[in-house]
Structure 1
Amino acid sequence: MTKQIDFSTFSSIKIGPVVDVEVIDTIAAYPDVTLLGGANNLLIAPNPPKLAMLGKNFDFIHEDESHLYIGGATMSGKILSYAKRHDIAHFELMQKLPGTLGGMVKMNAGLKEWEIFNHLIAMRTEHGWIQKKDITYGYRKTHFEGIVFEAKFEKIKGFDTSLLAMFRQFRDNQPHLPSAGSCFKNPDHRYAGKLLDDVGLKGATVGNMAFSQSHANFLVNLGGGTYEEAITLIEEAKRRVFEKYGIDLELEIKILGHKI
């Protein structure tokens, strides 16, 4: 089954073509597709690769006495609500991490030192269950083959409302305009936003795209922004930071259909 998606409305940055996307409802290998989550950290090129997304069969939350099992298509907001309702700890960060569970596991999403892998036990791909100890992962990255159909987490009582409030403050300075979240990963012992500010790109615009005036590491759509304008700003940022500091900024957003 396929589903037609207009990425100019579906993606968080509000850029992209209308594309037929395959909907996956069974656990199997899908070697020729690029998997989508909630499209919250994606920039889609005019001619993207073949795309797919997990269907409703993978939108679930189950639990036993000591574990929580979450489907790869389950949205972060649903996970947060469930954890709060059932007094389960360590999912408070979901408040500020929009997207699907599978996408968040794939990029080891997080807020500073709090990240998805902290309390992950295992994940299920088309190759079966893989234990966390057998997965290579780090800051906003993982290395494994396959699709995250389901993940298993520790179930610990004690949803922390004070932690929820702290996470809310973490990102109060985020712009409210459409964006794909943080554009670049923070280099070791540096902040990407500060580097972009230092090279004069805070508030810089190309057409209807800009690096936000409130947070330089957010590439925002001012209204009607295009893929080409976004790429121009990204390439300019990488060039300026490398020329001034010798730092090759690594993208945190994922670009489908173009290599930077």
Structure 2
Amino acid sequence: MNQNINEVKIVDFKRYSSIHIGGIKEVLVINELGDYKDYQIIGRGNNLLISPNCEKRFAILGDSFDYIKEENELLYVGCATSSGKLLTYARKNNIADLEFLAKLPGNLGGLVKMNAGLKSWEIFNYIHSIKTKDEYILKKDLDFSYRHTNIDSIIYEAIFNIKRGFSKEKQDEFVRMRDNQPQMASAGSCFKNPKGDFAGRLIEAVGLKGYRVGDMEFSSTHANFLVNHQNGTFDDAIYLINLAKVKVKKEFNIELETEIIIFE
């Protein structure tokens, strides 16, 4: 691995984050293993809502952690590798079970950290182990659940079991499923689906589908997507999130839990 020295770059989160909200901040680019407990890894900013006033220290993994290699029927993937790059590799090398990455944005580290996926397909279904700064940890020794992992340290590498037989049909099906989602600036699904129900259905049922405050809106295409029409603000986004929580709790006695990660 090419161990380039760490560097700092200036990031405008209004441009960098997928929801197009946030201020201008210094971000550490990590290119070597180490202890960065004072930093929050943010990947490509696809599921983040960051206040312009947030004082947290942010970091991303650099090019040293952007790689894919096969060894002993295992696939080793650096956590700065994009989902698109990994999907392309799987397709070219006839590797099955990663088709669900189609049109799922982000770097591998973020996808693993939130156990990302679509409906019943999630990345931990196929993971063998992960690498932290100190060790490799087998999946059976990790605490993970739907859209959640309890991993405190930075994940530098994910290792997958290799099964041959990439399915173009599966990939096309995932593309179709995601084409039903809004194609506007958003942070992806706003809330996790409650057990046995769908957050989008609940938001629509309490009358918030298409509900807009300023430039922020619960999308009229899919109610569980909080979209930014152009100049949406952090405060307007938080207002809508809290409004949905209150209304769904009152109507259905269900506590909505955000899938978006919020830094205030």
Q: TM-score scaled by structure 1?
A: 0.97
Which residue matches 2:50?
Answer: 44
Overall identity of the aligned pairs, in %: 49
Which residue matches 2:25?
Answer: 19
Query: Quick one: distance in 2 between partners of 1:246 and 1:112?
Result: 23
Query: Quick one: distance in 1 between partners of 2:231 and 2:182?
Result: 17
Shift of 1:47: 2.2
Secondary structure in structure 2 of the residue aligned to 1:127: coil
Shift of 1:52: 0.6
Q: 2:245 aligns with which of 225, 233, 238?
A: 238
Letter in 1 for 2:45: A
Letter in 2 for 1:22: L
Confirm or deny that 1:57 pairs with 2:64.
yes
In the TM superposition, what whole-angstrom CA distance separates every residue of 1:108-142 from its partner, at most 9, and x where no partner exists? 00111111011100000123111000001110001
Which residue matches 1:94?
Answer: 101
Query: Quick one: distance in 1 between partners of 2:206 and 2:21?
Result: 26
Shift of 1:172: 2.1
Query: Quick one: distance in 1 between partners of 2:121 and 2:202?
Result: 23
Query: Quick one: distance in 2 between partners of 1:52 and 1:175?
Result: 28
Query: Quick one: distance in 1 between partners of 2:102 and 2:187?
Result: 16
Q: 1:203 aligns with which of 199, 206, 210?
A: 210
Confirm or deny that 1:31 pairs with 2:7.
no
Query: Quick one: distance in 2 between partners of 1:47 and 1:84?
Result: 42
Confirm or deny that 1:132 pairs with 2:139.
yes
Paired residues, number: 257
Q: Which runs of 5+ in 2 are unaligned?
A: 1-6
Secondary structure in structure 2 of the residue aligned to 1:104: helix
Query: Quick one: distance in 2 between partners of 1:145 and 1:8?
Result: 27
Contact 2:84 2:103 in 1 (8 A): no
Contact 2:211 2:218 in 1 (8 A): yes
Secondary structure in structure 1 of the residue aligned to 2:164: coil
Which residue matches 1:6?
Answer: 12
Query: Quick one: distance in 2 between partners of 1:29 and 1:132?
Result: 22
Secondary structure in structure 2 of the residue aligned to 1:87: coil
Letter in 2 for 1:96: K
Secondary structure in structure 2 of the residue aligned to 1:171: helix
Q: Which runs of 5+ in 1 are unaligned?
A: none
Shift of 1:157: 1.2
Shift of 1:144: 1.9
In the TM superposition, what whole-angstrom CA distance separates every residue of 1:8-50 from its partner, at most 9, and x where no partner exists? 1111111111110011111111111111111111111112211
Secondary structure in structure 1 of the residue aligned to 2:175: helix
Matches within 5 A, 1:84-163: 84-163=91-170
Which residue matches 1:213?
Answer: 220
Q: Which runs of 4+ in 1 moved over 6 A?
A: none
- Tell me how large the CA RMSD over aligned residues is: 0.9
In the TM superposition, what whole-angstrom CA distance separates every residue of 1:155-211 from its partner, at most 9, and x where no partner exists? 111110010111112122111110000000000101000000010000000000000
Q: 1:252 aligns with which of 249, 259, 263?
A: 259
Query: Quick one: distance in 2 between partners of 1:76 and 1:98?
Result: 6
In the TM superposition, what whole-angstrom CA distance separates every residue of 1:195-253 from its partner, at most 9, and x where no partner exists? 00010000000000000001000000011111111111001111111111111100001
Query: Quick one: distance in 1 between partners of 2:9 and 2:92?
Result: 32
Letter in 2 for 1:224: N
Shift of 1:145: 2.1
Secondary structure in structure 2 of the residue aligned to 1:180: strand
Q: 1:174 aligns with which of 176, 181, 198?
A: 181
